[in-house]
Structure 1
């Protein structure tokens, strides 16, 4: 029996907490972790993954505590979010408060004195973000060897958030660097609700022997899903009032998360729902809708999270993906999604926020305001029902991370012999697929440009490298836009992106309220505001969303299919039939891709996915340039349009012939160069890519933006039809 495997103190804690039984993931994980085996715990939100990892670890640590030589840091817990660390700290503390096992969370809210005290006598469990770990390695070089020597367990929470991101590359590199100091191979434990390719996660957790990582994914058939999708067409840029009133009627008596795809949409929806509540609920209406996104002051976000945890009254938080991960906000009655998610993983995370109580179903209401969003919502939902999730695609041409980690490594080690440096970085699995000659070229360039310096054969940070290392921006590898702090008196309301459009006299919506800008102090990065009677969405720039080829293909199948979907409301069902009739009129049909020739435009409806389409559009531009045609190429998420002059009949056929020929012969490189600008556009593709020579920037950009190999296979598999 699993319960009997745990230590007496942990058994007593479970009795005291009045647990009736373990969840499936806990039943599966506890015996495996007690045997000190690497594992990936895959289970839905609120399935008890944290306890599944920590119950056996705490049992083992308690047993060690009764023997000699059991001191030191034992558990390194890495999380993508500071808020998640705070949440998990409370959960682990409840489990360990009767044990003599210290627990420390490490981020900017924790006092320096507490951190220094712990560094002088490290022990127990450390919860930390990748950025803080990077800082620790660089700034505590004398303490690092002893600090990590006794680590026995490494836990990566929300592993899916790392697998495909630059932060994941950083984490993988950091973990490899830490192994130098550890007396033994630590037990690697990954936690996630949404991983589409477990083998990639296994390799991430244990690069040398990925098969040793056990994948624990017990079925939990207790949760039912109730889902419906509705459609309210936009007549303008603003959300239709009928939609607002429908959402209000649905949520006014419930505890809800309402997910949006942008911060501006969150602010508009929050304000208009409260405004509608005041109109329909009368003078006694109490504010029930609160916004939650990364530009709202952290203290306000934490207050909203706490209210959601403790309240028994109806309350709705309107959120971006900031509440998608595992921050505890208690049990919900309902999840609402406004417009389609861009990924299946995101939809699964959001759906998992409801139905947290044992035996209760998950409820999700989806609304679409554009026809494309309706079709995409159906496609993503169908893929979710098919149990498909986007597989992560880690970057390989990570020369920007090589630059970053090389600087960090030589600082951590207080210098490395030049003859050893290249071997050091290439032995790191993060960079194992980089060409040795290019990696060597980059390190040579770093020495030439004073990012590195050579002293008696030892590489140390150069003057430029030292300056970059000591900047606060070095520790994170993701890009953050320049921000203004928005102040109302002494209250920090939140932040907005620095822009020439931020002017005194303008009005904005922020933190669920309307404000007038009275003063902009660009030099200090401050905007002063006072309450206003009206406001508009602030401008937040965002990077383009990636559409996976499988989602794009499913969207095309929805357009060209005849299937009914029982979760569509009558209004949404009728609109889908209209959309399908229009698609049929444009020539759309299963297994065929359409090129629509007009007198002055040619549209290729590709539905290929973001990166493949980007490669396709670049080839088309190169083809036009070779023929000395000045036509323009424009892209939408699912089509490429050529316009700007008379389009001769037969152009579509010539284009398809060109694409098939150049991709089969693998002769696309010439057209790729012709189809893109000769110099960068001033917007670096990655944070540290902008420091590198141009040809390295090109290598990084090519991998991030374009999928040539995927395009090559896709183009050859398609049947093409020109219509005019």
Structure 2
């Protein structure tokens, strides 16, 4: 079909005005599916390939001729910043039309929200949490607001594939569709989908439309990629005469305290450029930003570093976003995953990644922030490590982050592999949440009616009616819900307290947070404020606490110079087995990967030699001296956890195991009386037995993992941990191959 002719006139004008010579393959494929079929469509193409236009050019053309007194397009995105960015792009696109673009999240003014509720039309952009709030607080308005809904666009679909947040999002889509009696088509957008079939199945679950993922030939991508390794003090791996003064010349007496060569490398290589520095946690983000700013002070240079993470105030986040978009700005922003997703932050020259991310998907997204104006994507890994002490044992001599970084890159280069969806088999925490949300929005209903509303949602297809009865009985017992005289169910007093808190809308784990203020400026939030007079780190600076208002959860402070660690709560990372398999292969290869820099090459050569002498990676059990052993399973986080349990619960007595210690998912250390042969014989025997996964849960253990587990009966928490967290199948396969 001639796609251009099918576009609405204002879309054609937009293309002319922007001097587009041709449409990209993904734009043609998307238009053909959206115009000519009634399919759900998954659009997967590289970053900056025009996916947003690919989806919205035909969608806007479809609704342009058919005005409605209903929202016609629901756009769901994982981040407020992404919504704000796309709001500007869509508003610009629709400027000469009657198509309204609305956004709805916590930072949007109430006056705008009231206008949308009064006259719904066009496109509504929203986060999953705001959609949950909508479902509860605007329940009676849903049919009026959405009766003409034609399309639901889910942006950055990959970020929803492996979490309860994705389950929540698609449960809400199903609930809205039933309530408004509609059958909208779903359009998913992502740059980092590995298994298209699995992702398509996830996108289409519970929909009455077939789901397709057009395969398009992307242009061959060129990457600018480097990976360098730094010990945090000299000497470095490549040479003994490495001098941090080559990187940054100190101009004050205090400079030696700053001589962290890895940070110095980033400081020097971001000068005069617009860059991003990614870290894997908010704590590290704060520490790195503080240190880079100190380099500026000590070198008498203007501060050229910004910071962006989820605990900062909207004002500070938006300041960083605007500076990134400013073509004349040469600031560098230290960030977490908040800038990993599709915000268009202008022409960035480079991204730096400190240590390895947990996923191939995260690596691709972060690198994809660069190279958006015709230049290749550019990323520089900076792997940091402390010098080992003279008595350090073998497992601590291995630079795990360096191996992990190489594995992430090689898996995509060699196989185009990205983590597949992981539909949570028994998502009881989300089951509680959606049960309470359904009762809060709909009011009294019979147990059978409640079950028919909740258990029929696709995400709960593995939850049995018996399990649901166990849950409801527990909720009645704990006053989360209560029975009326008519035999119906409503929220109980304890349940009201949970649901009426604004934090109920989110299903991801949150810490109890205090907002931090310096004068009239709100800086962001922290967890567990220290006593008055102590220091805190936030917004890349250090502050002294003046006063804590525990009732209102507010902290007041003033700024000082210096550096201290920040704390925002734990950041767990789940690493897929395939990544560990590739890490093992790296130790076995002689290949020197072309993106490795001088120190990284030397460090990789060192560790290969060290492991070769010890018998790694062929041998998986290494004697550390006497009866001490190190065990290297080379499997993912959750299979590793299952294997840890198998050894400690089922093998311990037979091995006379003691002094057990593990660094998940890399290695375990322990003392035992058994020989190497006896260890593997016992391990294989126990793994081969047909045992219940519940056997791997300690007798009185209630392993709370998810946000609402505290409201669940112990038996369901234990069951979910055993059957959904512990990867027993992968573990058994891993042991069988040893």
TM-score by length of 2: 0.90
Aligned counterpart, 1:466: 496
CA 1:489 to 1:608, structure 2 compared with 1: closer, same or farther past 3 Å? same
The CA distance in 1 between the partners of 2:694 and 2:20, in whole Å, is 65
Most deviating of 205-214 and 602-611: 205-214
The CA distance in 1 between the partners of 2:144 and 2:128, in whole Å, is 19
Q: 2:519 aligns with which of 489, 510, 514?
A: 489
The CA distance in 2 between the partners of 1:153 and 1:196, in whole Å, is 24
**Pairwise CA distance, 1:239:** 7.9
Instruction: Give matches, 1:114-513, under 5 Å.
Output: 114-208=112-206, 212-221=210-219, 223-235=221-233, 240-280=259-299, 282=300, 285-358=301-374, 360-370=375-385, 371-386=399-414, 387-455=416-484, 456-498=486-528, 502-513=530-541
**1:364-420 Cα distance to aligned partner (Å, 9 max, x none):** 111111322212111111112121111121211112211211121233233333333
The CA distance in 2 between the partners of 1:341 and 1:321, in whole Å, is 10
**1:269-317 Cα distance to aligned partner (Å, 9 max, x none):** 223323333444x4xx322111211222220110111011013242211
**Pairwise CA distance, 1:626:** 4.5
CA 1:517 to 1:111, structure 2 compared with 1: closer, same or farther past 3 Å? closer
Structure 1 position 86 matched with structure 2 position 84: yes
Aligned counterpart, 2:680: 656
The CA distance in 2 between the partners of 1:210 and 1:246, in whole Å, is 54
Secondary structure of the corresponding residue to residue 180 of structure 1:
helix
Aligned counterpart, 1:722: none
Secondary structure of the corresponding residue to residue 188 of structure 1:
strand
- Extract unaligned runs of 5+ from structure 2: 235-256, 386-398
Aligned counterpart, 1:9: 10
CA 1:504 to 1:410, structure 2 compared with 1: closer, same or farther past 3 Å? closer
Aligned counterpart, 1:637: 664
The CA distance in 1 between the partners of 2:315 and 2:546, in whole Å, is 24
CA 1:670 to 1:625, structure 2 compared with 1: closer, same or farther past 3 Å? farther
Secondary structure of the corresponding residue to residue 290 of structure 1:
strand
Instruction: Give matches, 1:564-579, under 5 Å.
Output: 564-579=592-607
CA 1:180 to 1:524, structure 2 compared with 1: closer, same or farther past 3 Å? closer
Query: Is contact 1:148–1:181 with CA below 8 Å preserved after alignment?
Result: no
**Pairwise CA distance, 1:632:** 3.3
Query: Is contact 1:662–1:668 with CA below 8 Å preserved after alignment?
Result: no
The CA distance in 2 between the partners of 1:13 and 1:402, in whole Å, is 45
**Pairwise CA distance, 1:227:** 1.0
Most deviating of 125-134 and 409-418: 409-418
Secondary structure of the corresponding residue to residue 72 of structure 2:
strand
**1:54-108 Cα distance to aligned partner (Å, 9 max, x none):** 111111111113xxxx331111111111111111111111111111112211112
The CA distance in 2 between the partners of 1:46 and 1:570, in whole Å, is 32
**1:503-538 Cα distance to aligned partner (Å, 9 max, x none):** 333334321223233334444423332222312121
**1:584-624 Cα distance to aligned partner (Å, 9 max, x none):** 1221144x523436324222111211111100111111136
**Pairwise CA distance, 1:654:** 3.1
**Pairwise CA distance, 1:218:** 2.3
**Pairwise CA distance, 1:217:** 4.2
Secondary structure of the corresponding residue to residue 635 of structure 2:
coil
**Pairwise CA distance, 1:483:** 1.8
Query: Is contact 2:232–2:261 with CA below 8 Å preserved after alignment?
Result: no
**Pairwise CA distance, 1:42:** 0.7
The CA distance in 2 between the partners of 1:549 and 1:468, in whole Å, is 37
Secondary structure of the corresponding residue to residue 382 of structure 2:
strand
Structure 1 position 603 matched with structure 2 position 633: no
Aligned counterpart, 2:736: 716
Query: Is contact 1:352–1:362 with CA below 8 Å preserved after alignment?
Result: yes
**Pairwise CA distance, 1:462:** 2.8
CA 1:521 to 1:121, structure 2 compared with 1: closer, same or farther past 3 Å? closer
The CA distance in 1 between the partners of 2:266 and 2:480, in whole Å, is 55
Query: Is contact 2:107–2:314 with CA below 8 Å preserved after alignment?
Result: no
The CA distance in 2 between the partners of 1:229 and 1:264, in whole Å, is 23
The CA distance in 1 between the partners of 2:104 and 2:519, in whole Å, is 31
Structure 1 position 555 matched with structure 2 position 583: yes
Most deviating of 74-83 and 464-473: 464-473
**Pairwise CA distance, 1:27:** 2.2
**Pairwise CA distance, 1:667:** 2.3
Query: Is contact 1:399–1:439 with CA below 8 Å preserved after alignment?
Result: no
Most deviating of 203-212 and 429-438: 203-212
CA 1:654 to 1:667, structure 2 compared with 1: closer, same or farther past 3 Å? farther
The CA distance in 2 between the partners of 1:345 and 1:694, in whole Å, is 34
**1:25-76 Cα distance to aligned partner (Å, 9 max, x none):** 22221221123431001122222211211111111111113xxxx3311111
Q: 1:517 aligns with which of 545, 560, 578?
A: 545
TM-score by length of 1: 0.91
Query: Is contact 2:514–2:526 with CA below 8 Å preserved after alignment?
Result: yes
Secondary structure of the corresponding residue to residue 473 of structure 1:
helix
The CA distance in 2 between the partners of 1:406 and 1:248, in whole Å, is 50
The CA distance in 1 between the partners of 2:346 and 2:74, in whole Å, is 26
Give the superposed CA RMSD: 2.3
- Extract unaligned runs of 5+ from structure 1: 719-724
Query: Is contact 2:161–2:202 with CA below 8 Å preserved after alignment?
Result: yes
**Pairwise CA distance, 1:629:** 5.0
Query: Is contact 2:183–2:208 with CA below 8 Å preserved after alignment?
Result: no
The CA distance in 1 between the partners of 2:458 and 2:640, in whole Å, is 30
Aligned counterpart, 1:34: 35
